[in-house]
């Protein structure tokens, strides 16, 4: 591992989102992280942030500002190319929020240690930066609940890998036991998933990081990356004019 490879491409510190993008959608990684196109988030991506903020307000003992949240969401999405999607998620945000009641009932009496806490750790000598969701302090233990808003109930392995990094950072910072959970919310239901970690999670993250290190080392120009990974035009990531434009400018297709 060579930290200079990450510095060369402006990836010091690293984040799990970059690592996951490199593994799952390398052409999207090239567009966003190598060529640095500014691709606006989709309504689905922004929805999670708004639902989290509303839930945090309630956990703080405040009255969630739903009307303001919906107005802010609509304003932020006013230039999005598919306004039907914007209207769809404007209607779904209250439904997602209503199904967050389970976390409030389960953890509402416990003190919130932090929300969106900035976390730092190092993996194989590479610095990582991340932000946790909801962390509750039980005295001798911290409980982490990572809220995921989804169209259907599904537990993604990638979400667990992200939490392994946050668990590592929290344990190093506070010298306490840390237990991690996914809190998955759809428009009609919710699900708690406790994450049980084993050695394979660390091995997988290390292997992903080593693979990225090799690619960063051998690529000396943005064009080198584009030659390594060709876009699959059937992939769902080409769902916006901005992404299609970037694909044409980088790969000519």
CATH number for the domain harbouring residue 11: 3.40.1350.10
Closest Cα to residue 169, out of 53, 48, 55, 14? 14
Question: Are 34 and 60 found together in one domain?
Answer: no
Question: Are 186 and 67 found together in one domain?
Answer: no
At 92 the pLDDT is 96
Distance CA 145, CA 165 (A): 14
Question: Are 94 and 205 found together in one domain?
Answer: no
- Residue 152 confidence class, pLDDT cut points 50, 70, 90: confident
Q: Which of residues 81, 98, 115 is at a domain's end?
A: 98
DSSP 120-157: EEEETTEEEEEE-SEEEE-SSEEEEEEEEE-SS----H
Spatial neighbors of 83 by CB under 8 A, at least 6 apart, are 77
Mean pLDDT on 83-103:
95
Closest Cα to residue 113, out of 32, 46, 170, 187? 170
Question: Are 149 and 196 found together in one domain?
Answer: yes
Question: Are 209 and 238 found together in one domain?
Answer: yes
Question: Are 152 and 117 found together in one domain?
Answer: yes
At 109 the pLDDT is 87
Question: Are 91 and 187 found together in one domain?
Answer: no
Question: Are 146 and 179 found together in one domain?
Answer: yes
Closest Cα to residue 102, out of 45, 194, 184? 184
Range with the poorest average pLDDT among 67-71, 105-109, 118-122: 105-109
Greatest Cα-to-Cα distance within the chain, rounded to the nearest angstrom: 57
- Residue 145 confidence class, pLDDT cut points 50, 70, 90: very high
Mean pLDDT on 155-184:
95
Measured in residues, the chain has a length of: 253
Distance CA 6, CA 116 (A): 25
- Residue 153 confidence class, pLDDT cut points 50, 70, 90: confident
Q: Which of residues 77, 98, 119 is at a domain's end?
A: 98
The side-by-side arrangement of strands in the sheet containing 177-185 is 112-115, 134-137, 141-149, 177-185, 190-194
Question: Are 83 and 172 found together in one domain?
Answer: no
Give exposure, 221-242, as e/b (b: 16+ Cβ within 10 Å): eeeebbeebebeeeeebbebee
Question: Are 7 and 54 found together in one domain?
Answer: no
* pLDDT over 70, % of the chain: 100
Question: Are 213 and 127 found together in one domain?
Answer: yes
Q: Which domain holds residue 32?
A: 3-39+107-251
Provide the number of structural domains found in the chain: 2
Please state, as a whole number, how many other Cβ atoms lie within 10 Å of the Cβ of residue 121. Answer: 19
Place of tokens 């404007």: 90
Contact (CB, 8 A) for 163 and 180: yes
pLDDT reading at 229 higher than 90: yes
Mean pLDDT on 55-75:
95
Q: Residues 39-57: pLDDT tens digits?
A: 989 999 999 999 999 999 9
Instruction: Tell me the pLDDT of the chain averaged across its residues.
Output: 94
Distance CA 94, CA 107 (A): 20
Q: Which of residues 98, 124, 141 is at a domain's end?
A: 98
Question: Are 93 and 115 found together in one domain?
Answer: no
């Amino acid at each position: 591992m060579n930290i200079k490879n990450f510095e060369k491409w402006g990836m010091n510190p690293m984040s799990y989102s970059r690592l996951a993008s490199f593994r799952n959608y390398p052409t999207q990684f090239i567009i966003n992280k190598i060529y640095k196109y500014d691709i606006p988030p989709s309504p689905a991506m922004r929805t999670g942030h708004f639902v989290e903020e509303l839930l945090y307000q309630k956990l703080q003992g405040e009255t969630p500002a739903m009307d303001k949240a919906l107005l802010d969401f609509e304003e932020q999405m006013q230039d999005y190319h598919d306004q039907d999607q914007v209207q769809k998620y404007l209607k779904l945000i209250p439904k997602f929020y209503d199904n967050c009641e389970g976390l409030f009932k389960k953890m509402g009496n416990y003190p919130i240690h932090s929300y969106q806490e900035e976390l730092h750790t190092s993996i194989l000598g590479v610095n990582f930066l991340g932000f946790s969701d909801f962390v509750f302090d039980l005295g001798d233990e911290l409980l982490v609940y990572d809220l995921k808003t989804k169209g259907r109930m599904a537990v993604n392995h990638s979400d667990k890998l992200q939490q392994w990094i946050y668990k590592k950072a929290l344990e190093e910072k506070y010298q306490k036991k840390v237990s991690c959970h996914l809190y998955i919310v759809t428009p009609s239901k919710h699900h708690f998933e406790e994450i049980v970690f084993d050695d394979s999670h660390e091995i997988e993250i290390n292997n992903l990081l080593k693979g990225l290190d090799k690619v960063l080392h051998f690529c000396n120009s943005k064009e080198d990356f584009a030659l390594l990974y060709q876009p699959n035009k059937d992939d769902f990531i080409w769902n916006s004019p901005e992404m299609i434009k970037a694909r044409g400018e980088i790969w000519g297709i």
